[in-house]
Structure 1
Amino acid sequence: MEAIILSVQQYKELVNRLDVLNKKLEENQKSPEDTFLDNQEFLQLMNISKRTAQTWRDDGIVSFSQIGSKIYYRMSDVQKLLDKNYKKAFKPNKRDYTTNI
C-alpha cells in the first residue's frame, strides 16, 4: 500500500474542499417542504378521519394532488394550513379581586 504525505497547508485545503462539497450536498438534498404525504400519512399526521380530510379538500382548506384514486399532500401545504390557523398565545386578564370596593 502506498502512503501519501501532505503538508499541513495541503491537508487544510483538502479539508476545506471537503467541507464545501459537504455543504453543497446538504443544500441539494430534498427539503422537508418538498416531501409528499399520501392520504394515510396525512390522516395520521393531523389525527383526523378520512371524512374530515375529504371535507377539507372539498372546501379548499388544504391543497392536494390526485393521481387516479390516490391522494397526495405536499408537506409545505400542510405547514401553510397550520400556519394559517395558528393562534398566538395570549395573556389572560387577571383581575385583582383582593381590593375592597
Structure 2
Amino acid sequence: MEAVILPKEQYQELLKRMDEIKSVLTEKQKDPKDLFLDNQEFLQLMNVSKRTAQTWRDEGIISFSQVGSKIYYRMSDVQKLLDSNYNQAFKKRK
C-alpha cells in the first residue's frame, strides 16, 4: 500500500470536500415523495402527451406547481394519482 503525505491545509480541504459530497448524496437519498419532477420528466414517466398533462392539470386530476412558465409535479402527487386509479386484478373464472 502506498502512503500519501499532505500538508494540513490540503488534508482539511479534502475533508471539507468529502463532507460536501456526503451532504449532496444524503440530499439525493431523501424520501422520493419529496422530489419534484419537471413537466418533461412527468411526461416521460407517465408516457403521456403534453396535451394530456395539460388536461389533467385543467381538470384537477394532478396537482402541480408553476414557476413562470415551468411546471413541476410532486412525486407524492404522482403516486396519489396512480393509487387513486388502481384496480385490483380480477379473479379469473375457470
Task: Name the TM-score, length of structure 2 as normaliser.
Answer: 0.68
Query: Whose radius of gyration is greater, 1 or 2?
Result: 1
* Mapping of residues 35-50 of structure 1, within 5 Å: 35-50=35-50
Aligned length: 69
Q: Following superposition, which runs of at least 4 residues in structure 1 exceed 2 angstroms of deviation?
A: none
Q: Which runs of 5+ in 2 are unaligned?
A: 1-25
**Paired position in structure 2 for 1:92:** 92
* Mapping of residues 5-84 of structure 1, within 5 Å: 29-84=29-84
1: distance between equivalents of 2:53 and 2:63?
11
Alpha-carbon deviation of 1:30? 1.8
1: distance between equivalents of 2:60 and 2:93?
36
Q: Which runs of 5+ in 1 are unaligned?
A: 1-25, 95-101
Identity of aligned residues (%): 81
Alpha-carbon deviation of 1:93? 2.3
2: distance between equivalents of 1:66 and 1:57?
11
2: distance between equivalents of 1:43 and 1:31?
21
Residues 59-87 of structure 1: per-residue CA shift (max 9 Å, x gap): 00000000010000000000000000000
